[in-house]
Structure formats: structure tokens, C-alpha cells
Amino acid sequence: KKTWHVAVLPGDGIGPEVIAQATRALDALAEVDSELAIEYDTFDWPSHAWHEAHGESAPADYLERLAGYDAILLGALGDPGPTTDPNRYLLSDSDSLAPLLEIRKGFDQWVCERPVRRLEGAPQYLADPRAADIDMLVIRENSEGEYVNQGGRLAAGTPNEVVTQTAVFTHRATDRIIRHAFEQARMRATSREAEGRVRDFGGKTAQVCLITKRNAQKFWGDMYTEMFAAIAEDYPDVATHHELVDAACMKFVSHPWMFDVVVASNLHGDILTDLAAVLNGGMGVSPSANLNPSDRSRPPMFEPTHGSAPDIAGQNKAGPAAMLLTAAMMLDWMGEEDPAAARAGARLRDAVAADLAAHAGDMRATDAIGDAVVAGVRAGRD
Ligand code: IPM
Ligand code: MN
């Protein structure tokens, strides 16, 4: 039996409240299945509070201190505090990146996976009945692109100022993210088949849609398009599709059920996944995972797509579903090696889904939802 070591980072705002429900649920899962073993260490950084006390978001060696863990479970980061400067507590001091970005970069978490499949009982924003068929996985390139922070300001602050903010796309990172998208498409088709819900994309059972802006950004667009076509030849069983990002935004709203796996650059993926979160029922039910599939010895980070919501922090009213579903993604990832974690991931997701379905539209306290999910986990024991 494997013991998993998890670094728990509650963070700011509603982070501590929602993460408490996740660790309770994980404890309940370990109680009902003696094969599951997870140990946590909780850190009060990166956070606003740590910044107030120490003048930086986290201790200088925080990445080294996280490096030995199997996984990082993060609540939410960022608190504007009493100022209106949104960056004041988001930036750490080492190289002016949000700690979230430093962790992704520090452990080369090169893929961000954000699944989109609305659970019954979650808020429903699309009236079209086909919205029930939405089942996509947005795969965001998480290591480069528009997030490399290369560039600078010339003649800063003068009327002649010129700023460059260069996006960088490498063959290596493009190859791995596109291959990962095709692999995921294949695995999803296999599990749909096992569940008896085969999808049809022009005679194939899975699809990958590439997002670019190749009509305006030629160099990047050309490389992505050529590499996508070349890699697709290794996956003849997977249908391919290409959308420009602006058209994709429209189709995410008008025809989201036509997508399966979507692969996008860092910034396009960031924007598209806020849009896609609405299809799940909002930020309150949208989980997310930052992974390094090529090196499982570097810790992945699991964080809900939502932020720290400082306006409702400390009031026991934030919905913990996104955090709980994020913990389920962590268990799924552990489940690739540990059958007990795989069972626990499914059990937790079922308990969250059952709770949402039973309480659609109810206003409930954060810990009351946690109680119900813990009870659901216990009831679901086999
Ligand atoms: C996200 C967030 C981050 C991002 C911010 C906080 C830097 O929006 O996880 O989607 O842009 O990646
Ligand atoms: Mn975002």
C-alpha cells in the first residue's frame, strides 16, 4: 500500500474554507477504504497573511520545500487587501510572477487540464437541451506561449513608450502538448465506450480541436498547424478539427456539444477555460489540474479554476464543489498508480454529484455541503 504525501496550501480568501472540506472528504475516503493512505502537511504560504508578516508571498525556498511532495493541493491565491491594486499580493518577489505561475514553472507542470461536463444540479446557463451532452476536456499548454514574460518597456512612462510582450512557442513544448491531447482523446473514447456512450465525429469516436489565431499570428499559427497535422497521422482513430480562438469562443456558447478534446496555448486556454467554466455551472463547480506527465517525480498541483473570492471569505458560504472535484482529479492522478486512489476518486465525484443533484439551487453553508459529501462518501462504501 502506498502512502501519498500531499502539501496542502489553503492560500487566501475562501481557500482555507473550501480546502477544509476537501481534506475532510479525503479523510473519510481513507476511513472507508483501508488501502488508501494520504498524509498532509499544511502551509500558510503563499498567501496574503504571509505577505503581511514577511513582506513576500512565501518563504524564499518554498519551491524546494514543496519539491519532495507527491502532489500539491491548493485552495486559492490572491487578496487585494485594502488597496485597489490587484497585483499587490498576487506577485511574489523573486521574479514578479504570481506564485501560481512560479509553481507551474518550477515543477514544469506543462499541461493544465480543465474538464467540462455539467453535473446534474449545478447551475445551468444554456437552455438548449443538447447542453446535457457537453463533454469536453480543455488542455491548456501551461509552460510557455504568452506567459513567458519576455519583452520590456522602452521609454517607459513617456509618450514615446513602446512595450513588447513576446510569446514564445517551442517545437518541444508544442509536440508534447499536442500528443498529450491525442492520448487523452483516445483514453476518453475508450472509457466512453465502456460506459456505452460512444460519440461520433465523422465516423471516429474521438476528436481533438486545435485552437490558434493563425489568420493574424502567422509564425506560431504555421508551426502549430503543421505539427498538429503531422502528429495526427499517429492517431488515425482520432478526428481533427481546427478553430480560430475568436470563433471557438462563439462556438463554446452556441455549440459546445460539438467539442471533445480542445488543445490551446497558455493564454487562449486561460481565457477559454473561464468561458468553459460557465458550461459546468460556473466557477463554483470547475476543477483543474496542473500536471507534468513526463516526470511523475515532480509534484503536480491541483487547484480549482476559481479565485479567492475575498468578498465572501470567512462567511462559510463559498461552494466547495470545485475544490472537492479538484481533489477527485488528484485522486484520479494518483489512481494511475494506486487502485485505492482510483476507487476513491470515483467515489468522491459520485458523492459530490449526488449532493448537487439533491440540492439544486439551495443556498447552503460551506461546511454543510462538506458534511453531506462526507456522509455520501461513507454511504457509498462497498
Ligand atoms: C488561472 C489563473 C492564473 C492564470 C492567474 C492567476 C495568473 O487565471 O489559473 O487560470 O492566468 O493562469
Ligand atoms: Mn484563468
Q: Is the pLDDT of residue 82 over 80?
A: no
pLDDT tens by residue, 328-351: 999 999 999 999 999 999 999 999
- The closest of 112, 61, 126, 51 to 329, measured between CA atoms, is 112
Task: Quote the percentage of the chain above a pLDDT of 90.
Answer: 86
Look at residue 84 and tell me whether its pLDDT is greater than 80.
Answer: no
Distance, CA 270 to ligand 1 centroid (Å)? 7
Atom of ligand 1 nearest to the CA of 303: 9
pLDDT higher than 80, residue 83: no
Superfamily name and number for 1-109+290-382: Isopropylmalate Dehydrogenase (3.40.718.10)
Return the pLDDT at 80.
64
State the average pLDDT over residues 147-157. 92
Distance CA 321, CA 331 (A): 15
Report whether residue 98 contacts ligand 1, using a CB cutoff of 6 Å: yes
The amino acid occupying position 173 is A
Instruction: Assess whether the C-beta atom of 276 lies below 6 angstroms from ligand 1.
Output: no
In the predicted structure, residue 320 carries a pLDDT above the cut 60: yes
What pLDDT sits at residue 91? 45
Give the mean pLDDT of 221-230. Answer: 98
Does the Cβ of 100 fall within 6 Å of ligand 1?
yes
Residue 97 — pLDDT band, cuts 50, 70, 90? low
Question: Is the pTM higher than 0.90?
Answer: yes
CATH number for domain 125-280, candidates 3.20.20.70, 3.40.30.10, 3.40.350.10, 3.40.718.10:
3.40.718.10
ipTM here: 0.99
Q: How far is the CA of 312 from the centre of ligand 2 (A)?
A: 19
pLDDT surpassing 70 at residue 168 = yes
Query: Looking at 59-63, 113-117, 285-289, which range is the least confident one?
Result: 59-63
d(CA 374, CA 360) in angstroms, rounded, equals 18
CA of 78 to the centre of ligand 1 (A): 11
Closest of 26, 35, 42 to residue 2, by C-alpha: 35
Is the confidence at residue 364, as pLDDT, over 70? yes
Q: Is 73 exposed, middle or buried (0-12, 13-18, 19+ CB in 10 A)?
A: buried
Residue 30: pLDDT over 50: yes
Q: For cell 524564499, name the residue.
A: 60
Q: Give 310's pLDDT tier (boundaries 50, 70, 90).
A: confident
CB-ligand 1 contact for 102 (6 Å cutoff): no
Q: Where, residue-wise, is CATH 3.40.718.10 in the chain?
A: 1-109+290-382, 125-280
Q: What is the pLDDT of residues 192-203, one digit of tens each?
A: 999 999 999 999
pLDDT digits (tens, 9 = 90+) for 237-296: 999 999 999 999 999 999 999 999 999 999 999 999 999 999 999 999 999 999 999 999
User: pLDDT band at residue 47, thresholds of 50, 70 and 90?
Assistant: confident
Q: 93 pLDDT exceeds 50?
A: no
> What pLDDT is recorded for position 92?
43
Residue 87 predicted with pLDDT over 60: no
Q: Which one of 270, 301, 326 would you pick to mutate in the ligand 1 pocket, going by the greatest count of ligand atoms within 8 A of its CB? A: 270
| Residue among 288, 278, 368, 276 nearest 320 (CA) | 368
Tell me which residue has its CA closest to atom 4 in ligand 1. Answer: 270
Judge whether 149 and 97 are in contact, CB under 8 Å.
Answer: yes
- Gap between the Cα atoms of 233 and 246, Å rounded: 27
| C-beta of 283 in contact with ligand 1 (< 6 A) | no
What the block records as the C-alpha cell of 346 is 470515483
Ligand nearest to the CA of 147: 1
Which residues, 6 or more positions from 43, have their beta carbon under 8 angstroms from its beta carbon? 7, 8, 9, 62, 65
Whether 327 shows a pLDDT value over 90: the answer reads: yes
pLDDT value for 177: 98
Is 232 touching ligand 1 by the criterion CB < 6 Å?
Answer: no
CA-to-CA distance for 228 and 14, rounded, in angstroms?
A: 40
Q: Please state, in angstroms and as integers, the Cα–Cα distance from residue 355 to each residue in 16, 180, 280, 281, 305, following that order.
A: 21, 32, 15, 15, 20
